[in-house]
A and B are shown apart, each in its own frame.
Chain A
Amino acid sequence: MEKRFLHFPRLPSGGGDFILDSLMDAIIDLLQQNALMPRADMARLLDMELEEVESAIAKLEAEGIVLGYQAIINREKYDTDKVTAIIEVKITPERDGGFDRIASRIAKFEEVQSCYLVSGGYDLLIVIEAANLRNAAAFVAEKLSTIEAVQATATHFRLKTYKENGAFHLFESVTERLSVSP
C-alpha cells in the first residue's frame, strides 16, 4: 500500500519531521472517541512519542482541522427545560452567492448550534437550542421567519434522545464474559 505523508514541522526533540497520514487519521479517531484521553496514553496506543502526539494535535488545531472540544450533555439529567429543535428552512437563493450569505446570517444567531445546506424538499437544516419552549418559539417567529429570503419553516422539537454524537443515552447491557477462558 502506498503511504502518503503530511508535512510536519521538525520536532525540537529531534524526532521525525513528518508523521504518517494514517497516524494523523488515528489521532483524529481517538480525539473523536474521547478528546480527554491523556496524550501519553495516545502515544502508547499509537506507538509514538508523547512529543509527536502533542505536536500533531497542535498542528490539527492550528490548521483548523480540529475546531474544538465539547462535552455531550444528557438533557434528561441536566437543564431539563432546555429545548432542542430541528428546523427545516426553505429559502430563496440570492443571485450572487447562492445560499451562503443567508445561511451564514442564520448561523450567527446564538440559538443556532448547527446549520447545514441539504438536498431535498428544503434547503437548510438547522439545530437550535433555547432556554425554554417560549424562547424557541420566539426565535422561529421573530427572528428566523422574518428574514426576507426565508420562505417557509417546519420546526420539530426534540422529545427524547437515543444517540448523540455517537454516544448512546440508553446503554446497551454489558455482556457477562467468563473471567478466564481459553
Chain B
Amino acid sequence: MSIEIADHVRDIPRSGIRDFFEIVQTMDDVISLGIGEPDFATPWHIREAAIYALERGRTGYTSNLGLPRLRRSISDYVRKKFDVRYEPLSEVLVSVGVSESIDLALRALLNPGDEVLYHEPCYVSYAPSITLARGVARPIETRAEDGFRLTAPALEKAVSPRTRVLMMNFPTNPTGATMTPAELEEIAAVCIRHNLVVMTDEIYSELTFDEGHHTSIASLPGMKERTVFLHGVSKAFAMTGWRIGFACAPVELIEAMMKIHQYAILCAPIMGQDATIEALERGDESVAKMRSEYQMRRNFITRALNDMGLDCPKPKGSFYVFPKISSTGLTSREFSMRLLNEEKVAVVPGTAFGPSGEGHVRCSFATGLDQIKVAMERMAAFVSRVSSTKP
C-alpha cells in the first residue's frame, strides 16, 4: 500500500539548505562557511554546572512551562538586557529551542487562512511553520539598498484584512540586518494601527557589534501586550545542542502555547534547563569574549570579500555576511555550486532564504580564522576566474 501524506505537509518544498547539505556531505576537504552554529563549544562553566546538576541526580521531568528557577532567571535576564518585564511564573515558557516556540505561538494564534507577514530573506523555517499551522505565509521582500531592514511602508502595503501576525528576526539570519529604535517605532505604529501580533525572534541579539545597543520591539510603548518575545541560548552562548529556547508573552497566549507544548513535548530536557540557568546568570563574560571574536572575524571576512570585488556591507549583528555576487554574472545557486565543485568552499545560496535572496550568498563567520582565511583565498581565485571569463 502507498501511504498518503497530508496535503499541507506534502506540499511543503524541500529545504534548499537540506539539498545543498547533502551534496556537501559527499565531498572531502570542504571548508564550510555554511554553518549556522557557533564553532565554540559551550563555555566550560556552563558545561560544568550541567555536570554538577547531573551528579545530583537532576534527571526528571520539569513543570510544563520549565523550571521555576529558570523562568525567574529568564525574566531577570530579559528585564536587564531588553528592558521588558515578564511575570516569571505566568508569562514565560521554556521550549525545545526557539523553533518550538515559533511553532507553538503560530499554532496557538492562527485560524486556517489567517495571514502571517515576515520579512525575507529570512530563516528557513518561517514559511513552513506558518503553513503547518494552517496559516498563509506572506513574505515581505527586503532590499540590499535598505540594508535588508523592514520598512514601515513595505509593511503597510502588505497588510490585508486577514493579516494576524508579523514575524521579525533582527539581527537577521541570513543578512545580518539590524533595526534602529526609530525604525522599530515606525513598525510598531503600523502593528498597533492594524492590530497585529508581533512575533520577534531575537536569537542573535547579543551578537550586536561595535558596542551597538540592541533594542527589542517588545520594549516600545504599547507593544508588550501584542508581542511574543522569542529568545534562547543557542547562538550567543554556543549552546545549540542543548535545545533551549523560550517565549515571553501575555498570560493568555502562554497558557494556549502551554496546552500544545504539554501534549506534544511535555517539557524541555532538564539538563539543558539547568545549564541555561548558569548561562543566563553568569554567562555575560563568555558571551562578550565570543562576541569580540566574531566581530574580529566579521572585519576580516568583510574586507576580504570587498577586496575580491564582491559588494559586502559590514553587518552590525549575527554571524553572517550576505555579499552580493551578481557582478559575477552567476545566479546564487550557480555561484555556490561552482564554488563548491571548483574550490571546495561551501556557502549557502541566498535563495535558500527566499527568492529575494537571489544575487547573494550567505557566508557564516562562525568558523575559525584559519579556515576563513583559506576559504577567502579560494573564493578570491574563483571570483577572479569567473569574472574574467564573463561574457
Contacts and interface: CB of A to CB of B under 8 A. Distances in A.
Interface in B292-332: 292, 296-297, 299-300, 303-304
A1 B15 CA distance: 43
Given A26-B292, A41-B300, A47-B299, A180 B15 contact: no
B61 interface: no
Interface in B325-353: 346, 348, 352
Contacts of A172: 41
Contact of A181 (B36, B211, B296): B36
B24 A179 contact: yes
B25 interface: yes
A179 B300 contact: no
A90 to B, nearest CB: 35
A178 B364 CA distance: 13
A182 B17 CA distance: 7
Given A1-B211, A44-B303, A180 B21 contact: yes
A47 B21 contact: no
A181 B35 CA distance: 5
Size bracket, chain A contacts: 10 to 19
A6 interface: no
A32 to B, nearest CB: 13
A180 B24 contact: yes
A104 interface: no
A44 B35 contact: no
B41 A175 contact: yes
A44 to B, nearest CB: 4
B373 interface: yes
A86 to B, nearest CB: 24
B266 interface: no
Contacts of A41: 300, 369, 373
5 closest residue pairs by CB, A with B: A180-B34, A45-B296, A180-B21, A47-B299, A44-B300
Interface of A: 1, 26, 41, 44-47, 172, 175, 177-182
18 contacts: A1-B211, A44-B299, A44-B300, A46-B296, A47-B299, A175-B41, A177-B35, A179-B24, A179-B30, A179-B32, A179-B35, A180-B21, A180-B348, A181-B21, A181-B34, A182-B17, A182-B124, A182-B352
